[in-house]
Amino acid sequence: MTHRVKILAYEGCMASEVMAIADLFHIANKMWSSRHSKGKEKLFSFELVGVRGTPISTANGARIEVGVAGDMDCDLLVVPGLDFDSPRVLIERLGQLEPEIALVRESAQRGIVIASICVGAFLLAEAEILDGRKATTSWLLNGVLIKRYPLVKLDLNAILTEDNGVFCTGAVTAVYDLGLRLVERFGDSDLAQMVAKVMLLEPNRRSQAPFVFTSLDAQSKDTLIAQVCKWLDRNFRKKFSIDEIATLFAVSERTLLRRFRNEMEETPIGYLQKVRLEHAKALLETTNLSFAQIVDHVGYFDESTFRRLFKRHVGLTPIEYQKRFSIR
């Protein structure tokens, strides 16, 4: 049986996500055909479609010819993400994509499987099909998604989520994790494994946590909290209390905690832990320092405590992280 797929392309979408999923399906088709019906049967019949009837320009400026979405007579709709300069710009862009969002909503109502890639989850959320469902997106935008769509069950670290026919992924290269999962769902696990080997892909990746970079994720509109974050970024090795930070910035401890939590959705101590973890990750990537030396450098005093903290937040032990990401 051939499964009909439409890949939704629109102005400003990520070309890599559109083409990567198409190429993966193409390779899956070739391998599937070699096993079935003397090479005549394909697993996927896919096309790039748009809702406006014109070629589109992707985020990198490449032009793509697309077919008309039409009556959406398909089994699967793939929704790529879009480029953005800031959360504000992202929300503005969503307002310009009402026809695409309406198509996603209509497709879900018809029982079509929906798969979003990276920021594509925001189109699904706007269409209200993520309400009450597990979802993920780029770790850079976790906070934005939580605030704008409180009914979504956001899995902050997941690379891939699947909930009742709706798939979401983390950042850009998670398109390959999605592709392999869809090959497994519509084909079989053996085919997915073969495609992974041919394309040099690591199957069954679980978490975005090792890739999170706190200083990029931390953005505050509150001038006070932005200053506190910068101070913590510079003074992460020091030992201090919340009361001392509050005094330094001439506010009460209660006010500091309230405003920090409202902006950052965590406490200053939680933010400080993430900063220390980022510095530890950088040292593991680029130096020959022992773990004891790294622990001391980032302002901790107990190796076992920091090792447990590292594993909980990063999803890997320090040794595992160093083996995977060291650039020495």
Q: Do residues 229 and 269 lie in contact, with contact meaning Cβ atoms separated by under 8 Å?
A: no
Q: Using CA atoms of 198, 200, 204, 205 in order, give the dihedral in degrees to the nearest 10.
A: -160
Distance CA(124)–CA(104), nearest Å, equals 7
Instruction: Check for a shared fold between 3-208 and 214-325.
Output: no
Q: Is the pLDDT of residue 250 over 80?
A: yes
- What percent of the chain has a predicted confidence (pLDDT) above 70? 95
Query: Which CATH number is correct for 3-208, 3.30.565.10, 3.40.30.10, 3.40.50.620, 3.40.50.880?
Result: 3.40.50.880
Q: Give the model's confidence band at 35: pLDDT under 50 very low, under 70 low, under 90 confident, else very high.
A: confident
Exposure string (b/e) for 77-101, b if CB count within 10 Å is 16 or more?
Answer: bbbbbbebeebeebeebbeebeebb
Q: Confidence class of residue 221 from pLDDT cuts 50, 70 and 90? A: low
Looking at residues 180-196, what average pLDDT do you find? 96
Q: Per DSSP, what are the bridge partners of residue 51?
A: none
Predicted pLDDT at 93: 95
Chain center to CA of 309:
22
pLDDT band at 203 (very low <50, low <70, confident <90, very high): confident
The residue-averaged pLDDT of 39-55 equals: 89
Does residue 209 or residue 321 have the better pLDDT?
321
Which of helix, strand or coil describes residue 53? coil
Single-letter amino acid, residue 131: D
190 sits in which H/E element:
helix 189-198
Q: Say how many CA atoms lie within 13 Å of 163 toward its Cβ.
A: 20
Predicted pLDDT of residue 216 = 52
What pLDDT score was predicted for residue 34? 86
CATH number (3.90.1170.40, 3.30.360.10, 1.10.10.60, 3.90.580.10) of 214-325 reads 1.10.10.60
- Model's pTM, two decimal places? 0.79
Chain position carrying tokens 């832990």: 273
Specify the pLDDT at position 156: 81
Mean pLDDT of the chain: 91
Which pLDDT band, with edges at 50, 70 and 90, does 123 fall under? very high
Predicted local confidence at residue 324, as pLDDT:
87
Q: φ and ψ at 17, to 5 degrees?
A: -75, -40
Query: In the chain, what are the domain boundaries?
Result: 3-208, 214-325
pLDDT in tens, 274-308: 899 989 998 998 898 999 999 999 999 899 999 99
Summarize the confidence of residues 30-35 as an average pLDDT. Answer: 89
Mean pLDDT of the 185-200 span = 96
pLDDT tens per residue across span 64-94: 999 998 878 899 999 999 998 888 899 999 9
